[in-house]
Every structure is written in C-alpha cells, then in structure tokens.
Structure 1
Amino acid sequence: MTSSGGGHRPDISMRQAALIAATCLLVMSALSPVGFFYLFPRLIARADILQTSQNIQAHQGLFLAGIFCYLVTFICDILVAWALYVFLRPASASLSMLVAWFRLAYASMALVALLKLVTVLRVVRTSEYLDAFGRNLQNAQIQLLLISFRYDWAFSMIVFGVHLGFLGYLVYRSGYVPKLLAALLAINGLAYLIDTLRPYLFPATALPYLPVLFFGELIFMLWLFFWGSKIQDPVADVVPIRATP
C-alpha cells in the first residue's frame, strides 16, 4: 500500500498559479498607470485646491473611474500574493508565506489609503458638508484627504519594496526561475525603498534615472506568462506505508 508524501493534491498547479499571477500583474500594469498618469492628473491641480474641487465636482464619474482603477489594482495585489505563494512554495514554504504576507500587508495599507479618495467623493457629493463648514473648509478637507492618500500610499511602498527584496531572494533559491530575475526583483525593491525614503532622508538629492530600475516585476510577469506557465509541479516521493498485522 502506498501514499504520496504530500498527503493531498494541490488545488491549483504551479502552471495555473504562474498564469494567475502574470494575468493579475498585467491587469495592474494596465490600470494603475491609467489612474495615476491620466485620470487623476486631469482632475487634481496641486497648486489650486479650488480648481481641483471644481474639477472633481464637475467630473465625478472620472474621479470614480480613477478610484476603480486603484481598487482593482490593489485587489490584484492580493491575488498575486496568493498565486506567487503557490508558485514558489516548492522552493521554501515558510519563506514563500513570508513573501505573501508582505504583499498582503502592502495591499491592506494601500486599500486603507484608498478610502481617503472615497471620502473625497462623499464630501463633494454631499451638500451637508458644504452647509456645515462652508466652501473654504470643504476645500481644505478635500486637500487634506488628497494629500493623505498620496503620502499614505507612498509610505506603503516601503513594505512593497521589502516584499520585492524577499521575493528576489526566494526566486534565487528556487532553482527553477532564472537568477537574473532574482537580481532584477531585488533591484526593483531597492529602487522603491530609495524613491520612498528619499524625501525624508535626502530630499535635496535628485535621482532622475531611478525609474529605469522599476521594471523588474514587469519582466518577471513576462517570464511567468511565457516560461513559468510551462513548469510542471514537482513529483511527490512515493512513501511505502506498512500495513499493521
């Protein structure tokens, strides 16, 4: 009588996990720039909160679309954490769990920050705020919420940078993912840490070429699509079980 050493069959394969992670990363790489570089810059004039308030009031659907882009992005982060845990679990179950928890922590912080934008929309739509505080205080509240979202999300990138660093180490240990990707992921994580901490530690230093280092995860996404999705699950050792007399 024999039994597999794993004790149970995984609910999804490594190939499926790679495709799920890659698909979610692709969705994130498409939606996040739409919100960050297109939708919100059309509405938010950082030097003019009155104009910003008027823009949001006049284009609430556009503002809501930006929130939706971020919401889907952060939800995809949770799915990526789960899928990469499954994909990299054969390399080290405990380290893979740690890597997943760091990404979940980042996603949680980002979702909490996103609530600031939801509150902005509620302040703009509800006349009670305007009646109670007046236009100036309402605009001040909107400005505070927008700034808080930007700083809260930026601060959460510290956790994301640490996640990428550990992910790079786990990829290096895996043996079935190219070590070059491990280096690119670690460099990507370090770049996020430097970019986030620069305003606090060395604000006068300009780093114009730093964004070049932000493509490690995108390259990893491509590898997951074209090569990671072809990896077979490790075959569990067959362990004989002696029948008791």
Structure 2
Amino acid sequence: MTIENKTARFAGFIYLIVILTGFFSLMYVPSKLMVWKDPALTFQNISSSVQLFRLGIAGSMLCYIAFTLLPLVLYKLLKNVNGTYAKLMVILALISVPVSLMNLQSKFSVLTIIEGADYLKAFNTEQLQSQVMVLLNSYNKGILIVQIFWGLWLFPFGYLVYRSGFLPKILGIFLMLGCFGYLLNVFGRTIIPHFSDYSVSDYITLPASIGEIGTCLWLLIFGVKNKTREIVEVD
C-alpha cells in the first residue's frame, strides 16, 4: 500500500468518526430526548436519561476533535491538486471548531439545571423547564451559525475532489452543491419564519450528506486510484 493510499484511508477513518459521532450527538440523542413543543416532557426526558445527554455532549466533543484533524489530513492528500484551494479548505473547516466547542456551553448549562444546584431553588419547576428550553434553542441557533462554515469548507474540498483525478468527480459535485445547500438552509431559517415547515428544508442539505458520506466511504474502502496522473498545482 502506497503512502498516498494510507493517507487516504486514514482520512476516511477520521471522516467516519466525524460522521458517526455527529449523527449520534446531533440527531440520535435529540430524537430520544427533545420534544420541542413540550418543555415539561423534555425536562423529564433529560432528567431520566441524563447519561445519554452527557454522552451526546461527549460525542460532540469527539466529533469536533476529529474534525480538527480531518482537513489537515485531507490537505496532505490534496495539496498538489491546488495549493490555494487546499489551504482555503483547511482554514474554513478549522474556523468552525472553536465556535462549535463554545456552543456546547449551552448544554453544560442544561446539565447544571437538571442536576439541581442549590442556588436554583429560587426558581419553580416551570421556570427551570423554560430555562432548559431557552438553552437548547440557543444551542440550535449556535449550530445554525456553525453551519455557515460546515458549508463553506465543502466548496474548496469539492473542487479539489473534482479536479484530483483519483477521486470520483460526482462526489466533488455533490460536495460543492452541499456548500450552497448549507448556506441556503442557514439563511432560509434566519430570514423565513417557520422555514422548517417547508418540505424543502428536509432535503436542502442532502447533497452535502451524499457527498460527505460517499467521500468518506470511498477513501476508507478504495483509497485513491493507483494510476499515474499529472496534477498541475495552481497557487
């Protein structure tokens, strides 16, 4: 196995960690605990499954740690395709990491309320339930902000995949489309009230999912094509 193939498979492995931990923390845990129109039930769910809530936070932290490594490994693999785009890919991806980690503060604050610190006795149950919902909604708004960079990094990444000559061009196209899907989702939810009620909101980030999962699996299973290729680096 060539060094290039080892790098590709390592990138695929890290990408898989990002995808699995991201799915667990952003989709699975909320689906089990959050009932957005029922603060009392949400409070009860988190209180009775606090360990799952904690695992969701830990999953997010692991996801962001892996996402710190991912663009650096991809840079090593793709820098000869286009140095400028490779650097831009790394910068846009890494910007999201501290923002994502800081956003977890809202979930730690939820834990403080759920676990019942003494100074919270001044609040009644309904007030605590409302505070939890405010914090969870604040966390979701933070995720919306982070999605700007989750989208932006996909364009240079997709371009590099498309031009690489050793990864399927169709994956690069999906990644670049995914960039615009994320941005449309962010601005749609910001500008249009009840954007989530529109059916398009369920599919707008689908190209990104196809591109990222597809690229992850290709790197992990196939690595890179073993063939001679000429790549002109454009800086």
Fold match (TM-score > 0.5): yes
C-alpha change, 1:233 and 1:142, in structure 2 (3 Å) is farther
- In structure 1, the residue matched to 2:156 is 166
Deviations 1:159-218 (A, max 9, x none): 111110121122233343332222121012222222222123445654154354231111
The alignment status of 1:137 with 2:127, answered yes or no, reads: yes
Q: Which residue of 1 aligns with 2:145?
A: 155
Q: Which letter maps to 2:188? A: R
Instruction: Give the structure 2 partner of residue 183 of structure 1.
Output: 173
Structure 1 match to 2:80: 90
Judged with a 3 Å threshold, the aligned counterparts in structure 2 of structure 1 residues 231 and 54 are, in CA distance, closer, same or farther, namely same
CA distance in 2, matches of 1:49, 1:115: 20
- Distance in 1 (alpha carbons) for counterparts of 2:116 and 2:224: 48
Q: What is the match of residue 219 of structure 2?
A: 224
CA distance in 2, matches of 1:202, 1:13: 48
Report the CA distance between 1:60 and its aligned residue.
1.0
The residue that corresponds to 2:8 in the other structure is 18
Q: Secondary structure at the match of 1:86?
A: helix
The amino acid across from 2:55 in the alignment is A
Q: Does 1:111 align with 2:108?
A: no
Give the counterpart of 1:75 among 65, 79, 90. 65
Worse-superposed segment, 157-166 or 186-195: 186-195
Q: Would you say 1:65 and 2:55 are equivalent positions?
A: yes
- Gaps of at least 5 residues in structure 1 are 1-11, 235-245
- Please tell me whether Structure 1 or Structure 2 has the larger radius of gyration of its CA atoms: 1
Kindly provide the CA deviation profile for residues 108-165 of structure 1, in whole angstroms up to 9, marking residues without a partner as x. Answer: 2221112211221122214224223333332232111100111111221111111101
Matches within 5 A, 1:35-50: 35-50=25-40
Quick one: distance in 2 between partners of 1:188 and 1:118? 31
How many pairs does the alignment contain? 224
User: Aligned equivalents of 2:205 and 2:40: distance in 1?
Assistant: 32
**Would the alpha carbon gap of residues 95 and 211 (structure 1) be closer, same or farther in structure 2, given more than 3 Å must change?**
closer
Give the structure, 1 or 2, with the largest relative contact order (CA under 8 Å, sep 6 or more): 1
Q: CA RMSD in A?
A: 2.6
Cα distance change of structure 1 residues 162 and 134 upon mapping to structure 2, 3 Å threshold: same
AA of the residue aligned to 1:143: M
Using structure 1 for the length normalisation, give the TM-score: 0.80
* Contact 1:20/1:80 (<8 A) preserved: no
* Secondary structure at the counterpart of residue 51 of structure 2: helix
Instruction: Please say if residues 166 and 225 of structure 2, whose CA atoms lie closer than 8 Å, have aligned partners that are also in contact.
Output: no
Q: Name the CA distance, whole Å, in 1 between partners of 2:26 and 2:149.
A: 20
Native 8 Å contact 1:129 1:138 kept in 2: no
For 2:123, what is the secondary structure of its paired residue? Answer: helix
Contact preservation (8 Å) 1:22, 1:224: yes
> Which residue number corresponds to residue 242 of structure 1?
none
Q: 1:128 aligned to 109, 118, 125, which one?
A: 118
Bigger Cα displacement from structure 2, 80-89 vs 169-178: 169-178
For 1:171 and 1:76, the matched residues in 2 are separated by 20
The partner residue of 1:195 within 155, 161, 185 is 185
Contact 1:14 1:232 in 2 (8 A): no
